Each structure stands twice: as C-alpha cells, then as structure tokens.
C-alpha cells in the first residue's frame, strides 16, 4: 500500500508540474504573440506615416532636411498647372475615404493640434524659436521669400543658394558683373561681426552653364541688390537687415536648393502641418511634423 501511495503522490506531482509548465508556456506564448503584434502594429503605423508624408512632399514639390545646425530646402518652382492646395485637398479626401483602414486612424493637424483640411495647408515654414521663415505668397509658388528678423539675425552664419533654371539659358558670362550686378557693391566683412554672413550663390541653366557668383563673407548691414540677368528677365535679391530674399520667377522654372546655416542646432522646424497616425486597438501612434 505504501508503494501505491508514493506512486499516486508522484503522479499527482508530475501532473501539477506539467500543468504549471503548460500554464507558464501558454503565458510566455501569449506574451510573445503580444510582442509580435505590437511590433507589427508599430511597423504599420511607421510605414503609413512615412507613406503619407512622402506623398505630401511630392504634392508640394518641397523637401526639408535638418542636419545639426543646417536646414536645407529642396524646392521646385513654380508649381505645375493646377494649384497645390486643390491637389492637397483631394489627397486629404483620398486618405480619409480610401487609404485609411478601420484599424488605423489618420488625421492632419494644425500647429495647435486641431484637425484641419489638408487643402488649407499654409505655404509657410518657420524655424523656431528664431522666427526665420521660408514661404510663398500662395501655392502657385511663383515667388519665394526667406526672411530673417533683425532681432535674430546674429544666429545666421551662412547662406547657400543653388538655382538651376530648367527652361532658360543664362544671357551672361561668369565674370564679375557679367551674371550679377551689385549696387552698391557688396562689402566684405569678418566672421563674428554683426551682419556678417557667409554667402554662396550658384547658378546653372538648362544647357549646363554653371557659375558661382559669390563665395565670401558679406556684410548684410550694408544695403545692396543682387540682380541675376537671364535671357527673359532677372531675379532680384535684396541684401539688408532684416533679411528679405525675394525670388520672383516670372516665366522661369527652377530647382532651388537653399541652405541656412545657424550658429546653433538648438532649434526646431514648424513644418506645414502635423500628421497623426494611430492604431485604433493598440496604444501605438506617431504624431510629427510632415
């Protein structure tokens, strides 16, 4: 009888161990499945956010990058036939009616966090807290402004502007005064002086002509005007404080790359809008500037 009792106890203990093992295995398996589900959901949210953001960049023909203390704007002007705002409005409806799925919520937010119609996207990007602005009067993009207020001008170290005119040829030679005329002449300065900014202006045209017009430290506290002469007009860039660079395209088409080099990396960019993507049944979301 003693042997039977020991056998029964042993069998019961084995069963308890097996049950505990199965429960632990099930719990671990559930946790593993949860982790996999969370990973897949996070990947879907990230992919959806990037996909919509890329479509907005294509629609506006504008890409912005921040790298340490440098902000680079890759731009194409003017906008093709049809307004960008109309296209954005239609794209916003497409996202809401077709692209969004029942398990994923997608919204466009204004800077204060309220939902907005993508067609009302403002044509202005601001570098904060310095209130440096890169903007167009409207989404036709026939004129580009870059403004730096007097109170924050000292934060600007350098300015690089590269203009490639895709439908025009340059009616000039790459000599002082040939492509650009300054009146009065630009005054050079030493880095660290108020109003002193490293300036590089480079231009090219549809047949491959290239000219680097300026590559020096320029005193922006002395008023001057840069005129870029083309076969069918010219571009004027006033140089003064507060800085207001006005590129008026007339009937020209241009790939414009503009780099603003600041003396600090402690800033952020208030982009066109915020894009919020959220997984409905999970605590997973991404809200960031587009």
Q: When comparing pLDDT for 153 and 174, which is higher?
A: 153
- Tell me the pTM: 0.78
Question: Considering only CA atoms, which of 115, 109, 148 is closest in space to residue 273?
Answer: 109
Residue 265: per-residue pLDDT: 94
What's the whole-number mean pLDDT along residues 141-154? 86
Q: When comparing pLDDT for 285 and 132, which is higher?
A: 132
Site of tokens 């019961």: 12
Q: What percent of the chain has pLDDT over 90?
A: 13
Q: Where are the beta strands (DSSP E) in 78-188?
A: 104-109, 124-128, 132-135, 143-148, 156-165, 180-182
| DSSP type of residue 267 | -
Q: What are phi and psi of 9, to 5 degrees?
A: -65, -45
What's the whole-number mean pLDDT along residues 183-197? 81
Q: What is the pLDDT of residues 22-54, one digit of tens each?
A: 555 555 555 655 666 667 767 777 888 788 888
pLDDT of 256 above 70 = yes
Helices (H), the chain: 2-60, 84-94
Q: When comparing pLDDT for 112 and 131, which is higher?
A: 131
* Residue 11's pLDDT band (cuts 50, 70, 90): low
- Rounded to an integer, what distance in angstroms lies between the CA atom of residue 113 and that of residue 107? 10
What's the whole-number mean pLDDT along residues 7-35? 57
Domain boundaries, the chain: 46-289
Q: Is 171 exposed, middle or buried (0-12, 13-18, 19+ CB in 10 A)?
A: middle
CB 70 within 8 A of CB 261: yes
């Amino acid at each position: 009888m003693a042997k039977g009792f020991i056998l029964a106890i042993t069998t019961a203990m084995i069963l308890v161990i097996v049950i505990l093992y199965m429960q632990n295995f099930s719990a671990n398996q559930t946790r593993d499945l949860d982790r996999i589900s969370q990973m897949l959901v996070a990947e879907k949210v990230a992919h959806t956010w990037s996909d919509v953001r890329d479509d907005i960049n294509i629609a506006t023909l504008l890409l912005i990058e921040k790298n340490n203390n440098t902000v680079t704007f890759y731009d194409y002007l003017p906008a093709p036939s049809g307004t960008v705002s109309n296209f954005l409005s239609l794209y916003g409806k497409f996202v809401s009616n077709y692209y969004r799925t029942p398990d994923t919520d997608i919204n466009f937010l204004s800077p204060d966090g309220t939902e907005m119609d993508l067609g009302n996207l403002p044509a202005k990007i601001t570098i904060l807290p310095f209130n440096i602005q890169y903007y167009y009067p409207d989404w036709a993009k026939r004129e580009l402004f870059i403004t730096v207020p007097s109170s924050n001008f000292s934060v600007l170290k350098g300015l690089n502007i590269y203009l490639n005119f895709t439908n025009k040829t340059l009616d000039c030679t790459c000599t002082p005064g040939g492509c650009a005329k300054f009146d009065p002449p630009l005054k050079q300065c030493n880095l660290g002086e108020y109003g002193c900014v490293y300036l590089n202006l480079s231009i090219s045209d549809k047949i491959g002509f290239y000219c680097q017009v300026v590559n020096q430290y320029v005193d922006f506290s002395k008023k001057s005007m840069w005129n870029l002469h083309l076969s069918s007009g010219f571009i004027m860039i006033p140089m003064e404080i507060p800085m207001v660079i006005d590129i008026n395209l007339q009937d020209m088409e241009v790939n414009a790359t503009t780099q603003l080099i600041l003396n600090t990396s402690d800033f952020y960019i208030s982009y066109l809008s915020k894009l919020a993507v959220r997984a409905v049944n999970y605590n997973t979301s991404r809200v960031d500037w587009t």
